Structures are given as structure tokens and as C-alpha cells.
Amino acid sequence: MDLLPCGHAARVGRSKLCEHLLVEEPPEIHRRLTGVGTEYDLVCAACAEARDLVVACEGCVERAEEEFTASPLPWLGEPGIRHLDGEAGGTRDEREWRVVPLGDRCLAPLPDGWLVLTADGLVAWGEDGSRLVGAVDVPADDTDRKPYKQRRAAVHTSPDGRFAAVVTDYGQYGTVVDLRDGSPVLALDRGGYHVDTTPFPVAFVGSTVIAATAWNRLDAFDAATGRLLTGRDLSQRYSGYFHGALHPSPDGRWLVCDSWVWSPAGTPHVVDLDAWLHGGRPFAPEDGRKLSQRWYAWDQPIAWVDERTIAIQRIGHDDEAMLPGVELYTVPEHRLKGLLAGPDGPMWAHGGLLYVATEAGLEVWDPGQGARTAVVEGFRPQAHNPATGAFARLSGGRLTTWTPTGWGRMPA
């Protein structure tokens, strides 16, 4: 094997370097985009425009990457964003539903329709029309301090449509309700410590509801009875995660927690739900594996592309040095699989595709092709129904839905 310009006989790294980085103590490093997707080279400030870069081995490139990650600087150049837009297809439907949601996070899916939180309480829409489920009592946060993020109401539903969690994002409290009669099942309280930094951590996995019961603690409950399923003494296993939005995998095997730690840094991490709930590992949430570290960046759109692939929006390691797009990770390897420049906005996944709500409409992105493949113009949904594939928006007394044609990837 021939020697590379870096002086090593080894496999070639994925990026080229400027020669000033091939030293023991290199200068500050920039990632310079090549214009081909998210491919980039690594350069110092003096070589920001240089073209005579050198090929280096994997080890030298990895060392330069580690130096960059420790002190990330803004990207140089622009990514190559591919638009292969075709017909979005799908079925659009609009009908009258004269209810007013309390916010954009107050519409949630049911197996045969939708659930909305209004000033009068929860209202369900299904095959039999609209019905008032009942009023919901969520305690107000008792604080005079200006919140880091504005509190808002939010609704989450169980896959079978029997239960709903009504919570205050960036707040302390919530409640789980049985939608058959509107009765409260479980009061949620995660304490008041820095709750204004994250949405309320809650999610349904089958008939189990997972929620934060302290800033750094998750617990699981039987949704039907409110019975605690995960009692444990955290003095034996400290966790520094400030838990945020929870994203279960489609098969209920894994849970992504969009959390942060001091000082602060976003630390999305993965919890093995099977080990926690069925495998005798009570501290699985505290042992969750970190996917990445993002200085001052958390509370990002996240979606499961499939049972083993996670898409996390924004590319990079620092809030002031990130690109619009998604980082794709695999579990259980917890490995960065790829990058896709472009997606930017509220995001869901369906049939292996990513759907992103933008001002122009609902964009369809195919991670496999690395491109945007369609736009549903003028439609900015608030919720997605995994059971039917439908996306929905409730505004001005009208419920508008759009359902993709079939399941799976759209043809190229």
C-alpha cells in the first residue's frame, strides 16, 4: 500500500484536508462544503478558498474531525440540496368542524379520526361524527419567572385511541384521560426544575404511558389504572439528562429522548424499552446511549424513518454552526448513517419518507434518494395519523386532511 500525503499507508478518509491540519497542534478547523450533497473538506481559516487540498488517511481525518467537534466553527460554502419534485399524489379532503384548538399541538390522531383540545375540553371526530369527550383539568404552573420558552398546551393519544395525555409543554403538569368517558386516570407532575426548557416528556407505547416524574427521571405506568410499573431508587444511578420530547420507535422497541445536559448541550439519546419494561433493567433510562452532542441545540424535530433509523433535524454540533437538514442514526448501533441537507420544519415520517411542514406546503423527502421528491402546496399540517397515513390541519372551522397514495416510497 502506497504512502498517502499525510505520511501513512492506510485507507483514505472521507474528506480532504489542508496541509496545515497535518500537524500535532493544528489551527482552528472549518468544514467546507463541496456543493455535492453534504460532502465537505476540512480546512483552516487561511485555506478557506484553497483548492490544493491533500488526501489523508482515515485516522488523520478522524483526528481532525475530533478537533472540530471539540470547538465547532460555522460551515463554509453551501450544501447541495436535491429537488426531484414530481406529483405528490394523495387524496385531499376538507370538511366543516367548528371547534377551535388551543394551539398547533392540540390536534392528535385517533384510529378512525382525530382528537382536539378546545377551551371546552376534548372533542373527538370519528366515523360517527363529532362528540365532546369532556373537560380536562391541568393545573397551572405556579411561577412568576419569565419562562425560557412560552408554555403551550399539547395532546398525545395512545395507538388504540382509548387514552389521551393533555400536558403543558415547557410546564410542570399534565393528566392522562380515558377517552371512553373523559375520566382522569393519572396526574402527571415532573417537578418545577427548568421545565421551561423542554416540551413535556410523555408518550404512549401500547397500553403503557411513559412520562417524566422529575427533571431527570422517566417512569412507565399502566394507562388503564395509573399503576406505576418502574419503581426504582435513583440514588443508585444518577442521571444528568433534562428529559424533553419522547419519540417511541414504530415497533415500541426503542425510545428517543430529546434531552439536554449542562453546560448546556443537546443530547438526544436512546432508551432500550424492551430491556426496561420486560428485560429486568430498571435503570435503562439512566443508561440510555447518547447519539450526539449539540451545544445549545435541543428541542429539534425528530422522526423514526423506520424501526431502526432516526432522523434528527439540523446538521452539526453547535446551535450557531448548523445546517438545515437531518442527521440519520441507526439503532442499536447508535451510529451516524448519513446526512440529508434541506428538511427544515415540523416533521413526521411515513412509509420510509420524511414529511416536513413549511410555509410553502408539505414537503416530501426521500432519505434513500437524498432528495425532496414532492410538495403538497399550500398545506401545512399540524398532526399525522400513523394508522391511516393522513396529515391534518384544523383551522377556521375546517378540518383539512391529505393522505398519501399507498404506503412506502414514492416512485423516482
Residue 410's pLDDT is: 33
Q: How far apart are CA 107 and CA 155, in angstroms?
A: 7
Q: How far apart are CA 378 and CA 375, in angstroms?
A: 9
Q: pLDDT confidence of 251, banded at 50, 70, 90?
A: very high
Residue 238's pLDDT is: 87
393 strand-pairing partners: 400
Computed on alpha carbons and rounded to an integer, the radius of gyration of the chain in Å comes to 23
Q: Does 70 or 367 have the greater pLDDT score?
A: 367
Residue 144's pLDDT is: 76
pTM score, two decimals? 0.94
Q: pLDDT confidence of 142, banded at 50, 70, 90?
A: confident
Residue type at position 59: G
pLDDT tens-digit series, residues 11-59: 999 999 999 999 989 999 999 999 999 999 999 999 999 999 999 999 9
User: Does the structure show a pLDDT above 90 at 174?
Assistant: yes
User: Does the structure show a pLDDT above 80 at 4?
Assistant: yes
Long-range contacts of 179-186 (CB under 8 A, 24+ apart): 179/110, 179/115, 179/122, 179/124, 179/133, 181/134, 182/121, 182/122, 182/133, 182/134, 182/135, 182/136, 183/134, 184/136, 184/137, 185/223, 185/224, 185/225, 185/226, 186/221, 186/223, 186/226
Residue 409's pLDDT is: 38
User: Does the structure show a pLDDT above 80 at 368?
Assistant: yes
Q: Does 364 or 238 have the greater pLDDT score?
A: 364
54 strand-pairing partners: 17
Mean pLDDT value of segment 290-318: 97
Q: pLDDT confidence of 412, banded at 50, 70, 90?
A: very low
Q: How far apart are CA 109 and CA 60, in angstroms?
A: 49
Ordered domains of the chain (ranges, CATH)? 19-80 (no CATH), 99-321 (2.120.10)
The H or E element containing residue 70 is helix 58-70
User: Does the structure show a pLDDT above 90 at 143?
Assistant: no
User: Does the structure show a pLDDT above 80 at 181?
Assistant: yes
Q: Does 205 or 409 have the greater pLDDT score?
A: 205
What cell was used for 293? 452532542
User: Does the structure show a pLDDT above 80 at 388?
Assistant: yes
pLDDT tens-digit series, residues 340-352: 999 999 999 999 9
Q: How far apart are CA 130 and CA 206, in angstroms?
A: 25
Mean pLDDT value of segment 82-109: 96
Mean pLDDT value of segment 126-142: 92
What cell was used for 284? 435503562
Asked if residue 303 lies in contact with residue 311, where contact means CB atoms within 8 angstroms, the answer is yes
Residue 407's pLDDT is: 43
Mean pLDDT value of segment 147-172: 97
Give the residue among 246, 289, 249 at the shortest CA–CA distance from 267. Answer: 289
User: Does the structure show a pLDDT above 50 at 408?
Assistant: no
